């Protein structure tokens, strides 16, 4: 469905933002783009949508090039929708009318039903007739998602789509929106800095580093095969240890055990953090800080040993 092949792209030819960047996206497939701020995630989405010219490469949909502003009177492919970080909503009309403006207007009742369906999807039925200017930033972001889905696009591009949404609502909204996209076979690319969101909802993940693709593969392959500090950094606390062979291994806190039996890694407890289902224990091994999950809190300055899984 979507083919991206960029040799280079930048706002300044002497300072490329993206380089040697190629991937395909199948019909109904969900791709998550992970990267640091300023890594080019938003730039990539704008390129795919057709807001910039891919002057050194090609972006195509079903074999047809997606044209940028130099070759298209109205930039932005009609079968693609982009939900940018700054929610594109009409502040002085209602939430309902924000969605209905994108519908055919040939059948008023059908349009209203469609708008209600999408407002329910994003959890905003209660504010259907409220002017958008009165809504919170998170609510405006949800209106923007509903607007983008109004005419059932073939591909939707989501740029940090849940960044302004309260944590208690974010989880259910993700399930609702991504489930809808899967049920309707809508291809999706999400730019995010949230690695755990990517693991849960993406079929494929790309990590951007220095303008290129540092990783491309399934969430399972990424999580089970962390082999460098840059990838590890997306997942919070992680332990960097040396194997007997001298090779570096990256281990999550749940992969280590705090035990009383002697091992080569003798540690002292610094602090215990309650995580609900467990405690995250911060320990000191010489001058090195490690993190390990444990079923109870441990007293500060208490001593023990760390058991490392055999691989």
Please give the average per-residue pLDDT across 131-153, as a whole number.
93
Q: 241 and 222 in one domain?
A: no
Cβ atoms of residues 240 and 263 within 8 Å: no
In a domain, 215, yes or no: yes
In a domain, 258, yes or no: yes
pLDDT, tens digit (0-9, with 9 covering 90-100), for 9-47: 998 877 899 999 999 999 999 999 999 988 999 999 999
CATH at residue 279: 2.40.50.140
* 138, 219, 255, 284: CA torsion to nearest 10: -60
Element (DSSP H or E) covering residue 7: strand 2-9
Cβ atoms of residues 42 and 191 within 8 Å: yes
pLDDT at residue 311 in the model: 65
pLDDT, tens digit (0-9, with 9 covering 90-100), for 43-99: 999 999 999 999 899 999 999 999 888 888 777 788 999 999 887 889 899 999 999
| Residue-range definition of the domain harbouring residue 263 | 237-307
In a domain, 232, yes or no: no
Cβ atoms of residues 181 and 25 within 8 Å: no
């Amino acid at each position: 469905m979507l083919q991206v092949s960029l040799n280079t792209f930048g706002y300044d030819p002497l300072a490329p933002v993206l380089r040697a960047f190629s991937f395909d996206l199948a019909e109904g497939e969900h791709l998550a783009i992970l990267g640091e701020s300023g890594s080019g995630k938003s730039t990539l989405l704008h390129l795919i949508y057709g807001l910039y010219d891919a002057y050194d490469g090609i972006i195509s949909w079903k074999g047809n090039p997606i044209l940028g502003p130099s070759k298209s009177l109205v930039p932005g492919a009609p079968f693609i929708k982009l939900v940018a970080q700054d929610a594109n909503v009409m502040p002085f009309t209602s939430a309902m009318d924000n969605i209905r403006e994108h519908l055919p207007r040939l059948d008023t009742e059908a349009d209203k039903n469609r708008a209600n369906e999408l407002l329910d999807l994003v959890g905003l039925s209660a504010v259907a007739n409220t002017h958008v200017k009165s809504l919170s930033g998170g609510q405006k972001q949800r209106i923007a998602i509903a607007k983008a889905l109004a005419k059932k696009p073939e591909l939707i591009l989501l740029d940090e789509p849940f960044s302004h949404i309260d944590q208690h609502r974010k989880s259910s909204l993700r399930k609702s929106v991504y489930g809808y996209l899967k049920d309707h076979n809508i291809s999706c690319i999400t730019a995010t800095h949230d690695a755990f969101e990517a693991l849960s909802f993406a079929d494929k993940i790309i990590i951007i580093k220095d303008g290129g693709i540092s990783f491309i593969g399934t969430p399972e392959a990424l999580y089970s095969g962390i082999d460098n500090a840059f990838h590890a950094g997306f997942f919070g606390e992680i332990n960097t240890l040396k194997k007997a062979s001298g090779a570096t291994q990256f281990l999550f806190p749940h992969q280590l055990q705090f035990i009383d039996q002697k091992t080569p890694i003798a540690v002292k407890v610094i602090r215990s953090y309650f995580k609900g289902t467990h405690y995250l224990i911060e320990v000191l091994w010489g001058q090195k800080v490690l993190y390990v999950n444990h079923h109870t809190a441990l007293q500060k300055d208490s001593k023990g040993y760390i058991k490392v899984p055999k691989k």
